[in-house]
Structure 1
Amino acid sequence: METSNIIVQKFSGVTVGSAKRMRKVLQLIKNSNNNSDLIIVMSAISPKKKIHGTTSKLIQATKELLVKKATHSFEILNEIEENHINILNKLITDNEELRLETEKRIKEECNALREFLKALEIIKEITPKSSDTILSTGEKLVGIVFTAYMKNEGIDTELIDLEKLITDVYDDSLIDTNFYLKTLVPKLSEIFSNCKAKVPLVTGFIGSFPLGILETIGRGYSDFTASLVSLAVNAKEVQIYKNISGIYSADPLVVEKAYVLPYITPEEASELVFYGLKTINPLCMDIARNQKIRIKSINNPDNPGTLIGPCSDEYKNVKSTVVLIKKDVLIYNINCRKGSVAHGTMKKVFDTFNKFGIQLDLVSTSQMNLSIALSNDVDKLDLVTTELKNIGKVSIRPHMAILSVVGRSLKSQVGFAGRIFTALADNNINIHMISQGQSEINISCVINQESKALALKCVYDLIYTDEEKKE
């Protein structure tokens, strides 16, 4: 099958969060279908923000199931069901048979989840697989509604539910890049080779993982699904539609001059995601090394947005430096009793944080101290301190932020880090930790959170004033 003209369009939950927004998405699909073959991937509905979305509500229902009983989880599910039916009723007004048939499917899906929740309440245990089964409902419901809407508008479509794509995998150590590329991609290739619909719609949920999909892939897992689908059909590119125009050179709410970057490499995107950019799921970057992923705005689809993909001569001289802030950070400092930070000490510390599933953002060492920057909303930090009490005295400094500068051009700029730190000092901004990765495309430091806006502006001005001088 010739697939060079295929585009995978992935729509975030906010872009399909209401009947009005779904109409806009459908029009975009119709316009795009004139020039390319399409495969559509959708996230679960988010009426406004992700925190109010279907996936977040299902996570809440899962967490509260054994605490507040199934009746409370049913209230959350009733709200989800009602929202999808209300959207359906607004979209399909001239085909009563299709509308009723679709409403029946929505209710059947929600009733099946209610029975599942009852069973979990009885056995009083929620496994990662159980949690994944609950989460999968969000993508299935939006798929049911939108495929019915597409059919009502005369588009030849088929809903492809990927909930069972992953089967018989019980060992988390088997889940790696090879598993995705050599097991899941061939399965997806077979699925699409057998699909006769002109515009198939794919659920963003791809199956249950040994540790759960949120632990293994994280939020935004439908981005990753779209990347896998793209590889499976050798697509021209993945287009991820959001409410933003792309990846900005800085937060446009803080820096007025910030603009949408036309292009960044997967390596740059990986660093940006690690330090707080929530535009795309980080696992996509492993896939993006071999394909093109474009972040686009649902409100301005004609704008090219930001392309993430392999570097070529076309993008050789394109600016890509980003300045960003990760706020709500704390510094966890250990003053070692033995007088020095030994190899065994660091291993113990890292193993302990890993045991409790806590991500470390920055690490800095001196002869007697080990300093770690991490998000201040992590759970079980007190348990970490208890386990490390024999190593040394622990102190915590809250209200911090991480300032990061990411860009492939940093490799060639001698003394650039020094200019950044000088600019911060000139603005009376104290630096508590400094880090530069081996890739040399990222420089990060920890500052007081109250200085984050000023730090962002002065570093941005330094970088882009320097670049303007060179031109």
Structure 2
Amino acid sequence: MQDLARRLALLVLSTALGWRPTSRRMAAPRIVMSALSPPRHVVMKFGGSSVANAERVSHVAELIASQMAEEGTLPAVVLSAMGKTTNCIIAAGERALEGRVDVSEIRSLHLESLAALELPISTGAEVRGLLRDLESLLDGVSMVRELTPRTKDLIVSFGERMSCRVLAATLSKIGVPAVPCDAWTLGVRTKGMFGDSVVDEACYPEVARSISDLFSQGQVPIVTGFIGHDADGRVATLGRGGSDLTATVLGAAFGFDEVQVWKDVDGMMTADPRVVRAALPVPFVTYEEAAELAYFGAQVLHPISMQPALRAGVPVRVKNSYNPTHCGTLIAEEATIKERRSVAPLVTAITSKRHVTVIDVVSLRMLGSHGFLARVFDVLARDRVSVDVVATSEVSVSLSLDEEQSLSPAALEELSEIAQVELKHDRSIVSFVGDGSRSTELIAQVFAVLAANDLRVEMISQGASKVNVAIVVQDDQAELALNLIHGCFFGAPLPATCGGLAVGELAPGLNASAVAA
């Protein structure tokens, strides 16, 4: 531990003496220290499961310290609420609407963690103060029997604010000069609706200056994910999964060398390992591939979180906090990924989205129905419905809605005035992300696999990005379809015949190096 503390001190000293990274936005001069190697600046984001209790908080603190000492990184840490705290706070808000105020579960987790970690009295006072403020807000909700989106965002923010103080104190205890930072104190500003805000990119210069100031003081910022302030100084949340977005926003604003998203899996996989037991780690993925995989069901990253990193060209790496030596998955620009891959795979990964509804809309006028599609999508827009997959012809359109979306009776009635409308429930989207230039080859193999096993495709669509092809099958066939197709593209044993291939045989055009890539 003494050696670790010495190396941490040297790392912090190198920054305090004036070394700065080359920021993509700030264009600050790079001052190379002659005696000390310049640190590598990274964002390290940890989700709730990574800091679920005192033991996990201690593990994350040691992980951060070891990364700093052994790899020469100087991080900004983005943190989610501890464990299931966000869910507990939301449940507490719902109870308050019924006149019952109870934060005992939230209080127990945090106070027990403070005691187990033996943190300073000052940290305990901060956390207890936040718990009192949370309880007071819930008392107000209980009295007026109203929980507005604005108030809900405010109460939800307490989870991240408490976890950051716990981790910062834990790091300070082992020699890392960490400071808790509510995101708005760094300048993170939001716009849009409460509960689903986005970060205003106009705040990037202020965020960059704030982080630079903290680094120049030799401090490691522990930043609340998921939250910010709107233009009027009110707390607003970025929606579920928003902590990933906070991490990539910081990465883009300051120009970090890398954004590391620490999860409980070894990066992205070729398929969901809970469904496909033969799933393999994916070492390299482009931004576009990662965004498509996230949107169509992969749970590793939030889809919107890719955008700031993509626009700024900041690499993102998904790593496992339970297995920190694993290289994880690197997400970067296409040119960078091509350099890393020995062979470009036909399919990078396969994912699925279950329990979707397919809506078939066929024009009553048949041919020559000018403006038909425009009218259909106008109805959807006014009903605030977001569509996943679309397939069209001159007189019809098929589209899918996920399980959280549904058309109102009024919208269905309006569509029925211009078309025959059929709703098909209990469907699944199976999405293949990979080499868009070889989509014909991909589709041919997929259809051969499914036809050989009597699985029917009800809809097919290729995205404008060309890296994604999606099909729709019945829910009860989705798991078999995933395993069959994964077996063909990645050479794993198959549960049945697969388009004429022997069990375990690679699909045509694949080889061992492609699978390994």
What TM-score comes out, normalization by structure 2 length?
0.79
Aligned match of 2:75: 38
| Cα 1:163–1:131 shift into 2, 3 Å | farther
Question: Does 2:224 match 1:203?
Answer: yes
In structure 1, the partner of 2:87 is 56
Q: Report what 2:428 is aligned to.
A: 401
* Higher mean C-alpha deviation, range 327-336 or range 141-150: 327-336
Q: Does 1:7 align with 2:42?
A: yes
Tell me the CA shift for residue 116 of structure 1: 2.5
- Aligned ranges for residues 424-443 of structure 1 at < 5 Å? 424-443=450-469
Distance 1:423 1:170, change over 3 A: closer
Q: Is 1:111 the counterpart of 2:142 in the alignment?
A: no
1:286 aligns with 2:328: no
Equivalent-residue separation in structure 2 for 1:60 and 1:432 (angstroms): 39
Query: Out of 249, 264, 270, which is 2:291 matched to?
Result: 270
Aligned residue type for 1:203: T
Verify the 8 A CA contact 2:154 2:235 in the aligned structure 1: no
SS of the aligned residue for 2:429 comes to: strand
Match in the other structure for 1:50: none
Residues 390 and 398 in structure 2, CA contact (< 8 A), matched pair in contact too: yes
What is aligned with 2:500? none
The aligned residue for residue 146 of structure 1 is 167
Give, in whole Å, the separation in 2 of the partners of 1:355 and 1:125.
Answer: 27
Query: In the alignment, what sits opposite 1:243?
Result: 264
Give the aligned partner of residue 84 of structure 1. Answer: 110
Find the partner of 2:273 among 241, 246, 252. Answer: 252
* 2:475 alignment counterpart: 449
Return closer, same or farther for 1:212/1:153 CA change in 2, 3 Å cut-off: closer
Tell me, in whole angstroms, the C-alpha distance in 2 between the residues paired with 1:212 and 1:363: 36
SS in 2 for 1:38: strand
**SS of structure 2 residue aligned to 1:248:** coil
Q: Does structure 2 conserve the Cα–Cα contact (< 8 Å) formed by 1:240 and 1:293?
A: yes
Question: 2: distance between equivalents of 1:64 and 1:348?
Answer: 42
Residue 58 (structure 2) pairs with residue 29 (structure 1) = no
Shift of 1:401: 0.6
1:82 Cα offset (Å)? 1.8
User: 1:141-192 CA deviation, whole Å, 9 max, x = no partner?
Assistant: 10121112222223211111114645595789xx878x32xx2221211211
Task: Tell me if 1:468 matches 2:486.
Answer: no
**Alpha-carbon distance, 1:63 to partner:** 4.8
Structure 2 residue matching 1:302: 3-state secondary structure: coil
Q: Partners in 2 of 1:128 and 1:168 — Cα distance?
A: 15
1:326 aligns with 2:349: no
Alignment partner, residue 49 of structure 1 = none
Q: CA RMSD in A?
A: 2.8
In structure 1, the partner of 2:30 is none
- Structure 2 equivalent of residue 337 of structure 1: 364
Q: CA deviation at 1:136?
A: 1.1
Please, which of 320, 323, 326 is the counterpart of residue 303 of structure 1?
326
Structure 1 residues 169 and 65: alpha-carbon distance in aligned structure 2, compared to 1, 3 A threshold? same
Give the Å deviation of 1:241: 0.7
Match of residue 20 from structure 1: 55
2:369–2:395 CA contact under 8 A, matched in 1: no
Using the alignment, how far apart are the partners of 1:39 and 1:168 within structure 2? 20
Whole-Å separation in 2 of the counterparts to 1:126 and 1:314: 52
Shift of 1:120: 4.2
d(CA) in 1 for partners of 2:110 and 2:67? 26
**Letter of the 1:157 counterpart:** A
The 5 Å alignment of 1:354-373 reads 354-373=381-400
Q: Which runs of no fewer than 5 residues in structure 2 stay unpaired?
A: 1-18, 23-39, 491-505
| TM superposition shift of 1:329 | 1.3
Task: Give runs of aligned pairs for residues 401-420 of structure 1, distance below 5 A.
Answer: 401-407=428-434, 409-412=435-438, 414-420=440-446
Name whichever of 379-388 and 297-306 sits farther off: 379-388
> 1:380: Cα distance to partner?
5.7
- Provide the residue aligned with 1:421 in structure 2: 447
Counterpart code for 1:314: E
1:352 is aligned to 2:376: no
TM (norm. structure 1) is: 0.86
User: Per-residue CA shift, 1:202-223, capped at 9, x if unaligned?
Assistant: 1113314599956xx4312111
Deviation digits for residues 81-135 of structure 1, max 9, x if unmatched? 221111111111xx6xx1x332222221122123223434555554433222122
Render the CA deviation track for 1:344-391: whole Å, top value 9, x for unaligned. 443333233334433211122345433221123435644532443423
Q: Identify the range of structure 1 (110-119 vs 129-138) with the bigger mean alpha-carbon deviation.
A: 110-119
Counterpart of 2:28 in structure 1 is none
Aligned-pair distance for 1:452?
Answer: 1.2
CA contact 2:226–2:239 (8 Å) conserved in 1 = no
Q: Partner letter of residue 234 of structure 1?
A: G
Secondary structure of 1:395's match?
Answer: strand
Query: 1:158 — aligned with what?
Result: 179
**What SS does the aligned partner of 1:103 have?**
helix
**Cα distance change, pair 156–373 in 1 and its aligned pair in 2 (3 A):** same
Tell me the distance in 1 between the aligned counterparts of 2:122 and 2:332.
42
Which residue number corresponds to residue 11 of structure 2? none
Q: Which residue of 1 aligns with 2:206?
A: 187
- AA partner of residue 227 (structure 2): I
Alignment equivalent of 1:226, drawn from 237, 244, 247: 247
Q: Deviations over 1:227-280 (max 9, x none)?
A: 122233322111111111111111223334321111100011111111111211
2:157 alignment counterpart = 136
- Comparing 125-134 with 425-434, greater Cα deviation is found at 125-134
Give the number of equivalent residue pairs: 447
How far apart, in 2, do the equivalents of 1:400 and 1:117 lie? Answer: 40
1:197 deviates by: 4.1
Structure whose alpha-carbon radius of gyration is higher: 2
The 3-state SS of whatever aligns with 1:288 is: helix
CA contact (8 A) 1:364 1:433 kept: yes
Whole-Å separation in 1 of the counterparts to 2:427 and 2:190: 44
Q: 5+ unaligned residues in a row in structure 1: which ranges?
A: 47-52
CA displacement 1:42-86 (0-9 Å, x = unmatched): 11112xxxxxx12222333445544x23x2xx22x3321221111
